[in-house]
Chains A and B, each alone.
Chain A
Amino acid sequence: MARSHKAPFWFLFAAGGTVVAFVLPVMVLVTGIAPTLGLFTEALSYDAMSAFVGNWIVKIILFGILTLALWHAAHRLRVVAHDFGIRADAPVAGTVYGLAALGTVLTAIALLSV
């Protein structure tokens, strides 16, 4: 039997799952919910945030969080399609991984332009 090429995608999926589980809820809380409650308004102001994201270490960390979340979601969607009985794995994988790759490039562009 031929060895599968799922391994690298599974690695991204596993890493993304860990990151998403630990970091994403905190990011949603800090950047999404807290401002509506009037918290961290100073720290989340445009000037403060653009200076923060301007730091190279922050860029690298954000790149990791955002893109791993995308690859995690892509692999999860591929598996969900499989679970729903869609056996056309190659086009499904191509589409979801393509979107994740596109998102990865866009994330890099966005971060580099700050």
Chain B
Amino acid sequence: MTERKIELEVLRYRPEQDAEPWFQTYTVPCPEEWVVLDALNYVKDEIDRTLSYRWSCHMFVCGSCGMVIDGEPKLACKAFLRDYGDKIRVEPLANFPIERDLVIVMDDFMEKLESVKPYLIPKEEKSLDEGSYLQTPAQLKAYKQYSMCINCMLCYSACPQYGLAPEFIGPAALALAHRYNMDSRDVGRKAREDTVASHEGIWECSFVGACSEVCPKSVDPAGAIQQVKFSSAIDYFTSWLPGGGSR
């Protein structure tokens, strides 16, 4: 097993004692197959117990360990050390306030997520006795990709529009709205449109596409937003016709 000494430059910010964020360097002996999260865990266990960061599953499923690694938003559990040099800079996700060290305040994201009603709104509730809602493989395929989102917020960290205009609903929430709109069991599109088709919704997006590049689950939020733009633009025109959707 080969081992490498990695210099981990970690952003520190402890609001009760630090006036502003600063970088602390830890030297960590790392086996070649480690990821950045392993190195952080080594620091926490062996060098400095005061370091704060979020993590849980260590297998790209929970979405907790999003951070900016060498300038790019990444899951720390998916950032293999073999892809980096001997010096790695680790910062909290951009565009969010820092709670402590690598931990960000995610309240804004949670509010936006709620605002798009990211859950099935069925036409009529079925009781358990009536059985499950059936779907064809084609109906599943229509939304499956967008259902892979793990709410890791890497896309919000990468999105320049969210950085410029914090009121922007943002990539993950809009892609999730699309995920439920595309679901054959759901009839909630109209209920979501007030948020989704607002200025703060899809129309704030200028299709930079950074969200899709950093997404660790290949959700392609940028693609989802473009599709929603198209269907919302159709809505906009049909709403002027008799019997068209209300605006």
Interface residues of B (CB under 8 A from A): 160, 164-165, 193-195, 197-201, 203, 206, 229-230, 232-233, 235-237, 247
Contacts and interface: CB of A to CB of B under 8 A. Distances in A.
Given A7-B232, A83-B206, 7 more contacts: A1-B199, A3-B198, A4-B197, A7-B229, A8-B236, A11-B233, A14-B229
Smallest CB-CB A-B distances: 5 pairs: A7-B236, A1-B198, A7-B233, A6-B203, A4-B203
B164 A82 contact: yes
B223 to A, nearest CB: 14
Contacts of B194: 1, 3
A83 B206 CA distance: 9
Interface of A: 1-8, 10-11, 14, 79, 82-83, 85, 87
Contacts of A85: 164
Contacts of B247: 3
A7 B194 CA distance: 14
A18 to B, nearest CB: 12
A5 B195 CA distance: 14
A8 B247 CA distance: 14
Contacts of B164: 82-83, 85
A94 to B, nearest CB: 16
A87 to B, nearest CB: 8
A8 B237 contact: yes
Nearest to B199: A4
Contacts of B229: 7, 10, 14
20 contacts: A1-B194, A1-B195, A1-B198, A1-B201, A3-B193, A3-B194, A3-B236, A6-B199, A7-B197, A7-B203, A7-B233, A7-B235, A7-B236, A7-B237, A8-B233, A10-B203, A10-B229, A10-B233, A14-B230, A79-B206
Contact of B199 (A2, A14, A79): A2
A11 to B, nearest CB: 5
Nearest to B164: A85
A5 B230 CA distance: 13
A3 B244 CA distance: 15
Contacts of A3: 193-194, 197-198, 236, 247
A61 to B, nearest CB: 23
Contacts of A14: 229-230
Nearest to B194: A1
Contacts of A10: 203, 229, 233
A14 B247 CA distance: 22
Contacts of B232: 7
